[in-house]
Amino acid sequence: MFYQHRFDRNTPVEDVAGTIADLIKEGKVLHWGMCEVSAETIRKAHAVCPLTAIQSEYHLMHREVEKNGVLDVCRELGIGFVPYSPMNRGFLGGDLNEYTEFDPHNDNRTTLPRFTPEAMRDNYRIVNVLQRFGRERGMTAAQLALGWLLQKEPWIVPIPGTTKLSHLEENLRTLDFTLSAEEWKQLEDAVAAIPVTGDRYNAEQQKQVGF
Ligand SMILES: NC(=O)c1ccc[n+]([C@@H]2O[C@H](COP(=O)([O-])OP(=O)(O)OC[C@H]3O[C@@H](n4cnc5c(N)ncnc54)[C@H](OP(=O)(O)O)[C@@H]3O)[C@@H](O)[C@H]2O)c1
């Protein structure tokens, strides 16, 4: 699986797709994908060389791909969708709060407006909703964040990150739970009712997405 992370504004997407098609013919690449691109770009690229997956940010606190046509075009063209940072970079797991100190040399969350102490204090209300909802069902906040994505579509496959075996096991156990469509909707609505404080990216990072 070979991804283009991020879109290159100086190279037509048809040229990128054509180059990947050559690499596939040579046997050097099996499948390809793109990251944080628009529905229009996906269409143009797919017409030249069929895409296997699109990887973009998607989780309970960032649902842009539901509105900007990206999920629709993936559904229509049969392209898989890979939500990255499915727990909002760990925030939805509940271990991070306004007192968390990130390593300034090795953690890009220090550059993200949504990870200032003020934003995390406001947004912790969302974690509280997940924890409350999970308490009644024996699920953790992380499992609810992942389960919400998994129940959306069989072709939506989140990629959670962790440095801990215990978290990996907890996250995998998400698959042991079955909630009804009504329960997922109830959770989704409860989270959506809380405004999110802080942009997901700063201005510079934002310039690189959405083409
Ligand atoms: N394409 C792109 O532009 C892009 C951008 C960002 C990320 N990604 C990819 O997306 C994947 C995941 O992204 P991510 O690491 O940013 O986000 P994430 O999966 O939303 O969050 C990872 C964070 O969650 C914590 N965590 C994991 N399981 C937990 C649990 N059960 N309870 C509480 N906390 C838990 C981890 O801490 P511990 O280590 O303590 O478990 C880690 O800090 C990676 O493969 C990454 O490369 C892609």
Rounded to the nearest angstrom, the distance between the alpha carbon of 12 and the centre of ligand 1 is 31
Rounded to the nearest angstrom, the distance between the alpha carbon of 14 and the centre of ligand 1 is 32
- Cite the DSSP H helix spans in 151-202: 165-172, 181-192
What's the pTM?
Answer: 0.97
Q: What is the pLDDT of residue 210?
A: 82
Q: How far is CA 49 from CA 44, 71, 138, in A?
A: 9, 19, 45
Q: What is the average pLDDT value for the chain, to the nearest integer?
A: 97
**Average pLDDT in the 159-165 region?**
97
- Cβ–ligand 1 distance for 5 under 6 Å, the answer yes
Tell which CATH architecture fits domain 2-206: Alpha-Beta Barrel (3.20)
Distance CA(68)–CA(73), nearest Å, equals 10
- Band (pLDDT 50/70/90 cuts) for residue 77 is very high
Domain ranges of the chain: 2-206
Task: Give per-residue pLDDT as tens, 13-32.
Answer: 999 999 999 999 999 999 99
Q: What is the dihedral of CA 88, 148, 61, 58, to 10 degrees?
A: 70
Q: Which atom of ligand 1 is least distant from the CA of 84?
A: 10
DSSP secondary structure of 112-139: -GGGSHHHHHHHHHHHHHHHHHHHTTT-
